[in-house]
């Protein structure tokens, strides 16, 4: 499909935003422009409640489609063949060319080979065209049948496999028929910013993706504990963040060295509470990084009951460590559902690489599953006067990497 010069972008939810609609549309256009910059010269414009992407230079069709189908806000993408002049002959030629490219034997369509039912639907925005919509439907339908009927093409006006849309607008005609599904959601940048706690596991990349999908710009924080955790473990987190960034846009990753804090907890607190206390400090650091970077919430990949630190009691005690909102989009999902989600977005294979996590190295054999706030507070008293300075230092020395 290299001759496609234009795409029509379908978006759904943006359309419900009333007066703010243009803000969402403009942000979506901006996201599209940014993502396609390295791929060629494209004109991205808003026109009568639609977004058109027109290629002004050569480009790699597969690469561009792969990128566009990862932009939040896009529900579907229609490759368009353009009739450069508003004459019947020109529109017909565009329709025939469109069919060859979309449904030829080499195409990636499920209907390749022309053996399917279709219907033509014309929208005549430019009313000056001498034929009316019905006449165009009939004529284009007739011409398509004439060429492809012998290969199995047939008309079904009630439940066609393929709806061929013909639009006459301004001084051009547009023909499209395929909708390549996009990820849906809202354009990133239309809904504030959040700080995601990103580990190398399966859950937190999915959580990051889910919040970004609602239009939220993401930053991320990763706590590592060298030499107890390896450079490979950090690389894995960066790789996961980079995969999510293909959807969410560039992610600013804060890499926080947690070793001294972890040892301080280990030396001073009961070992069955290590994970809870460590998580509380993760949250406190994340909250401070969030505040310093204009983020309005923190995000984690926790799910009720998955491990001891994710019981209702544990989550409550961890939550109480911070004032800012904590979003846990996978909270009600089963592990298998999160796994399937991660497979769909492409993070799964990386998540299951076997590098150690700082949580797993210091975990007790019998961690508390129903921690009491009082008892955690008593344990944390042992950290007073020792851990504050370590926390400040960890924040000051955090390394920043842009993932894109
Ligand atoms: P994940 O699959 O996301 O690693 P998990 O099932 O391993 O989660 P936990 O280890 O209890 O569960 O972590 C719960 C959440 O805490 C993670 O989803 C993540 O948001 C955060 N988290 C855990 N470890 C780290 C870390 N080293 N750095 C940053 N965030 C972390
Ligand atoms: Mg983990």
Half-sphere exposure of 192 (CA within 13 A, CB side): 10
Pick from 194, 200, 203, 343 the residue to mutate for probing ligand 1's pocket: most ligand atoms within 8 Å of its CB. Answer: 203
Q: Which ligand is nearest to the CA of 229?
A: 1
How much is the pLDDT for 329?
98
pTM (global) more than 0.85:
yes
For the chain, give the percent of residues with pLDDT over 90.
83
Mean pLDDT of 172-194: 94
Phi, psi of 255 (to 5 degrees): -105, 115
| Residue 360 CA, ligand 2 centroid: distance in Å | 8
- What is the predicted pLDDT for the residue at 359? 57
Decide whether any atom of ligand 1 lies within 6 Å of the 229 Cβ: no
Residues contacting residue 182 through CB under 8 Å, at least 6 positions apart: 9, 10, 68, 69, 70, 71, 73, 74, 75, 76, 77
Longest dimension (CA), the chain: 86
Residue 146 is predicted with a pLDDT of 96
Q: What is the 3-state secondary structure (H, E, C) of 254-318?
A: EEEECHHHHHHHHHHCCHHHHHHHHHHHHHHHHHHHHHHCCCCEEECCCCCCCCHHHCHHHHHHH
Task: Please report, for residues 102, 274, 302, the alpha-carbon distance to residue 361 in angstroms, rounded to integers and kept in the order given.
Answer: 53, 11, 19
Q: Is the pLDDT of residue 94 over 80?
A: yes
Structure tokens at 208: 């990051």
Res. 355: pLDDT tops 80: no
Spatial CA neighbour of 376 closest among 269, 231, 221? 269
Q: From ligand 1's centre to the CA of 61, what distance in Å?
A: 37
């Amino acid at each position: 499909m290299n001759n496609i010069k234009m795409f029509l972008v379908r978006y759904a939810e943006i359309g419900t935003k009333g007066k703010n609609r243009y803000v969402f549309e403009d942000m979506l256009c901006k996201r599209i422009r940014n993502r396609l910059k390295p791929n060629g010269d494209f004109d991205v414009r808003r026109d009568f409640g639609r977004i058109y992407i027109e290629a002004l230079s050569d480009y790699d069709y597969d690469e561009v489609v792969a990128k566009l189908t990862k932009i939040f806000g896009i529900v579907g993408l229609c490759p368009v063949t353009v009739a450069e002049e508003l004459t019947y002959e020109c529109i017909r030629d565009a329709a025939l060319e469109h069919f060859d490219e979309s449904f030829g034997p080499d195409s990636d369509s499920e209907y390749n080979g022309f053996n399917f039912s279709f219907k033509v639907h014309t929208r005549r925005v430019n009313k000056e065209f001498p034929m009316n919509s019905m006449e165009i439907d009939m004529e284009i339908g007739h011409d398509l049948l004439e060429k492809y009927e012998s290969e199995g093409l047939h008309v079904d006006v009630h439940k066609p496999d393929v709806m061929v849309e013909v639009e006459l607008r301004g001084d051009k005609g547009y023909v499209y028929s395929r909708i390549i599904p996009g990820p849906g959601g809202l354009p990133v940048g239309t809904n504030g910013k959040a700080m995601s706690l990103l580990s190398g596991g399966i859950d937190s990349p999915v959580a990051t993706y889910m919040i970004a999908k609602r239009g939220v710009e993401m930053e991320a924080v990763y706590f590592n504990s060298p030499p107890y955790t390896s450079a490979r473990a950090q690389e894995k987190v960066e790789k996961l963040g980079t995969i999510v960034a293909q959807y969410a846009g560039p992610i600013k990753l804060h890499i926080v060295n947690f070793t001294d804090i972890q040892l301080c907890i280990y030396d001073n607190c009961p070992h069955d509470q290590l994970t809870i206390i460590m998580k509380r400090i993760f949250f406190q650091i994340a909250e401070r990084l969030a505040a310093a970077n204009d983020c309005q919430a923190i995000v984690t990949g926790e799910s009720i009951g998955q491990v001891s630190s994710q019981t209702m009691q544990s989550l409550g005690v961890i939550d109480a460590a911070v004032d800012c909102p904590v979003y846990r989009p996978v909270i009600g999902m089963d592990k298998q559902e999160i796994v399937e989600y991660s497979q769909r977005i492409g993070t799964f294979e990386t998540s299951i690489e076997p590098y150690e996590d700082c949580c797993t190295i210091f975990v007790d054999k019998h961690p508390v599953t129903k921690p009491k706030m009082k008892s955690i507070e008593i344990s944390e008293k042992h950290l007073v006067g020792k851990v504050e300075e370590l926390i400040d230092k960890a924040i000051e020395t955090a390394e920043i990497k842009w993932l894109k």
